[in-house]
Amino acid sequence: MLTILGFVMIATFLVLIMMKKMSPMAALILIPALFCVLVGKGAHLGAYVLKGVGDLAPTAAMLMFAIIYFGVMIDVGLFDPVVRGILRFCKADPVRIVVGTALLAAIVSLDGDGSTTFMITVSALYPLYRRLKMSLVVMTGVAATANGVMNTVPWGGPTARAATALKLDAGDIFVPMVPALATGLVAVFLLAYVLGRRERKRLGLLTLDGARTATERAVPEPTAGEPVLAGAGGGFGARVRTSVFRTVSIRTGKGRGATAGGGGGTAHAGTGATATEPAPADDFQGLDPHRPTLRPKLYWFNAALTVALLVLLVLQTLPIPVLFLLGAALALTVNFPHMADQKARIAAHAENVLNVSGMVFAAAVFTGVLTGTGMVEHMARWLVDGIPDGLGPHMGLVTGVLSIPLTYFMSNDGFYFGIVPILAEAGAAHGVGALEIARASLVGQALHMSSPLVPAVYVLVGMAKVEFGDHTRFTVKWAALTSLVVLAAGLLYGII
């Protein structure tokens, strides 16, 4: 019964948020509370929730101060050169922009922390996506999938957990998996290329500095199965200026002669009507190079502080929440020595902090009930017991396949400390070594990073202003496919 109710609870949650019948925060709290009562353990709900909150409190603290730290770094201009560099590479080409998204997310993911990756990636690319009216779920989907593949570095969570659970060396697990993970990363870049081509076809060819396009394309309406959260584009020849980006010509087939000024001016629609400056939602301003929060004289201090923070994070010198707590306090004090300015910076990022922290504690209710009632254990046992004896010698393959759904529906702690040892025992009975099981357990991480139980994904969708249900509906199929590519490569190369 607990097995069935566990699967029904997860399915109910996913259906309600993807159909937008409930907000993710409300669903994470109310649905597990209801199912806790249904299994006859309503009297223990408080204990389950407090246990979940206690387990996730360090994560909430880390995200809270990480948002403040990187928010301050964005305010003071640390990432402005990155934005300009990306623009020079992308040249308003949707294919280059989406591939650049995958590249940036993969590089930043080397720090082993998903929230850091998403904050930097979205901060750098959101203005460009919004300005060119590209789909924001493409950005979140590609970034999450790239981070999922790179999240397997030894100093990241999954490999370290697998090594701890099975008493193995993290290097022995990770190094042989590099060819398979590299193949998975190539698959992410190929996916980014395909999605970029689709965006180019939808929007038409976009050029910089007013260069004319060779063709004109109408912008089709997005299909119901592939949500597009940005507008479809303006009239033919629309010229756009922002505070950061150079003049951009956006050419589609929806009209002629539309011109928009980035600074005050008017916009002339293709029909000949005259309108005022577009609304902020359609005329998003990038990072203003003249904003008062810039600290050019402290640029190298801030760069050194950020590098030092990331190095200490990789070396695990101190717990991650403590590192970001100290970093945020130091960044605020040095860059904004006046109390009023510090309060203003904290207030500016308070919305993101509240949204993400709230989602983490809401997820604590879900994980607390799922674990406390025993549902997750019964679900895992049911799956493992259902493995036919004939598949015993192929437990590496079985582990890789199971890791894809299980790491999506479970936390990494629950999977690596609860399920992987069971799979290793089953494998040992058929002569399959623990190292092979550990390597195979990393396969599902590309999908795991979009799980509703991963706090970092709420940083991603929150900063990108994307509904979690839309992100889930768009990303799950691509991330699952990427995980299967990693698994197939591991089998092909004889790693698994």
Q: How far is CA 472 from the centre of its chain?
A: 11
CA neighbor of 143 nearest in space, from 182, 101, 184: 101
Name which residue leads in pLDDT, 481 or 111: 481
Mean pLDDT of 472-494: 95
So what's the pLDDT on residue 355?
79
The reported pLDDT for the residue numbered 261 is 36
pLDDT confidence of residue 376: 79
Confidence tier at 206 by pLDDT (50, 70, 90) = low
Q: Is the model's pLDDT at 245 over the cut of 60?
A: no
Flag whether pLDDT at 17 surpasses 50. Answer: yes
Is the pLDDT reported for residue 296 higher than 70? yes
The reported pTM is: 0.72
Output the pLDDT for position 207: 57
- Residue 214 is predicted with a pLDDT of 37
Q: Tell me, what's the pLDDT at 215?
A: 38
Taking 70 as the threshold, does the pLDDT of residue 155 lie above it?
Answer: yes
The confidence band for 250, taking pLDDT boundaries of 50, 70 and 90, is very low
pLDDT category of residue 241 using cuts at 50, 70 and 90:
very low
User: Average pLDDT for residues 269-287, to the nearest whole number?
Assistant: 39
Rounded to an integer, the average pLDDT of 454-475 is 90
As a whole number, the mean pLDDT across the chain is 80
The gap from C-alpha 79 to its chain's centroid, in whole angstroms, comes to 19
Give the pLDDT score at 203.
85
pLDDT for res 56: 81
Q: Which one is predicted more confidently, 121 or 273?
A: 121
Amino acid identity of residue 24, one-letter, is: P
The whole-number pLDDT of residue 305 equals 94
Report the pLDDT averaged over residues 448-452.
91
In this predicted structure, the answer to whether residue 27 has a pLDDT above a threshold of 50 is yes
Residue 263, pLDDT > 90, answer no
Q: Using one digit for the tens of pLDDT, what is the confidence trace for 387-430?
A: 787 887 889 999 999 999 988 988 787 788 778 888 888 888 88
Best mean pLDDT range from 285-294, 323-332, 362-371: 323-332
From 161-175, 178-192, 259-273, the region with the lowest mean pLDDT: 259-273
Q: Please report the pLDDT score of residue 282 as a whole number.
A: 39
- Tell me what pLDDT residue 452 has: 87
Q: How confident is the model at residue 484 (pLDDT cuts 50, 70, 90)?
A: very high
Q: Which residue has the higher pLDDT, 163 or 233?
A: 163
**Predicted confidence band at 213 (pLDDT cuts at 50, 70, 90)?**
very low
Whether residue 233 is predicted with pLDDT greater than 60 in this model: the reply is no
Q: In this model, does residue 224 exceed pLDDT 50?
A: no
